[in-house]
Amino acid sequence: MKLNYKTFWRKSGLKGRWGEIYLSRLEKYKPKIFLEIGVFCGVTARNTCDYLFQVHRNNFNYTGIDLFGISKKSKEDEIEPKFLKNQKFSNPLKNLYYNYILKENLNSLDSVKNLLKRYKNNINLIAGDTNTVLHKIDLKNIDFAFIDGGHSYETVMNDLTILYQNLKGKNKVLLCDDYGKASHIPEVERAVNDFSKKRSLHINVIEDRFAEIII
Ligand SMILES: C[S@@+](CC[C@H](N)C(=O)[O-])C[C@H]1O[C@@H](n2cnc3c(N)ncnc32)[C@H](O)[C@@H]1O
């Protein structure tokens, strides 16, 4: 199957070849129940749903959690995309289209819902801080979690720990962005290392960027 990560004329955390590298991890595991932490403008969400639909038709489920503009409980050092501050585009046409014609905030629940509308029966989008949300939702059936939300040590450790408590011993996949040199965030690396060391889990570093852990 050809892996083609599309950007839908929006912003994505996975530009260029990174989108295809990400999709290759889905191809390897073919998860049915999927969690994305940090949805941003929904581009990876849409690519994930498109891929899972190709493989499983309507027999898949995607849950995405993001602050979607609401204030967070956690610290200020989450290292969020600068784009979120005032939706600045380097492409003037995009600026005109999204900020003046549509007046659409791409990191809003409504905008992402619209991008995913063809999968409305398969998706669950949640606005909130993972430091509270993950304690309230059922995580027991997740096959694959892409962890790309808050990037502070505290939040990454929170996200990994709660997923581990729900999924340990089930052979499930945790894929963390921004671990390796290609897009390094030291707090992410430290949290992933401390989490894995404590439980003697192996970290598979994918293309010097993603940390993949089987739990
Ligand atoms: C790097 S972006 C995610 C990129 C996205 N996965 C993609 O591939 O395009 C990080 C997102 O995490 C969200 N975020 C930051 N801290 C969060 C938290 N504590 N809980 C939930 N979402 C959070 C931000 O609002 C932002 O949209």
What are the domain boundaries of the chain? 17-214
State the pLDDT at residue 2.
76
48, 92, 163, 199 from 195: Cα distances, Å: 26, 43, 11, 7
Residue 19 beta carbon below 6 angstroms from any ligand 1 atom: no
Distance between Cα 114 and ligand 1 center (Å): 18
Ligand 1 atom with the smallest distance to the CA of 73 is: 19
Residue 31 beta carbon below 6 angstroms from any ligand 1 atom: no
Query: CA-based angle 172:4:61, to the nearest 5?
Result: 40
State the pLDDT at residue 76.
57
Give the rounded distance of the alpha carbon of 5 from its chain centre: 14
Ligand 1 atom with the smallest distance to the CA of 149 is: 12
- Separation CA 33–CA 140 (nearest Å): 10
Which phi-psi region, left, alpha or beta, contains residue 22 (left: φ > 0; alpha: ψ -120 to 50)?
alpha
Domain 17-214: CATH superfamily is Vaccinia Virus protein VP39 (3.40.50.150)
State the pLDDT at residue 79.
65
H helix runs in 57-205, sequence order: 83-86, 92-94, 109-115, 130-133, 153-167, 186-198
State the pLDDT at residue 88.
86
- Separation CA 101–CA 178 (nearest Å): 34
Please choose from 39, 130, 155, 161 the residue to mutate so as to test ligand 1's pocket, defined by most ligand atoms within 8 A of CB. Answer: 39
Low-confidence residues of the chain, pLDDT below 70? Answer: 71-82, 84
